[in-house]
Amino acid sequence: MKKIISTVHAPKAIGPYSQAIEVNGILYISGQVAINPKTGKVVDGGIVEQTEQVLNNIGEILKAAGYTFSDVVKSTCLLSDMASFATMNEVYGSYYKVDQPARAAFAVKELPLGVLIEIETIAVK
């Protein structure tokens, strides 16, 4: 059975999609960008601040669904510039200290709202 996951502690969807969907113990979190859910605006700063906000948003969605970062099995990181990869990787690593999930990272031409990073996530219980 499909369950829609939504929390006010992460940004509202900016299109026709859900923050996350849970099916059969698998949580699929839509790509999160660096929007502060309290202001509805992209956070100020560079890749460090944006990656932190994205991962905080993911954390809130995980929490709303009853999951944690340790349940994450796959992340896909989309970057506006691969020159940001090493810095993003440092911040990302601070959220996944042990048993890191599988991951892919890509540079893309452009991301919504002109952000520097977007991360989609899959977690399993």
For the chain, which residues make up each domain, given as ranges? Answer: 2-124
Neighbours of 114 (CB within 10 A): 9
Strand partners, 42: 35
Residue 7 corresponds to which tokens in the numbers above? 């929390």
Is the CB of residue 23 less than 8 Å from the CB of residue 11?
no
Distance CA 9, CA 7 (A): 5
- The whole-number pLDDT of residue 113 equals 94
Q: What sign has the CA pseudo-torsion 89, 91, 94, 100?
A: negative
- The whole-number pLDDT of residue 15 equals 87
Give the contacts of 17 (CB within 8 A, at least 6 positions apart): 30
* pTM exceeds 0.85: yes
Please tell me the class of the 2-124 domain: alpha beta
Q: Pick out the chain residues at pLDDT < 70.
A: none
Q: Where are the alpha helices (DSSP H) in the chain?
A: 47-65, 85-95
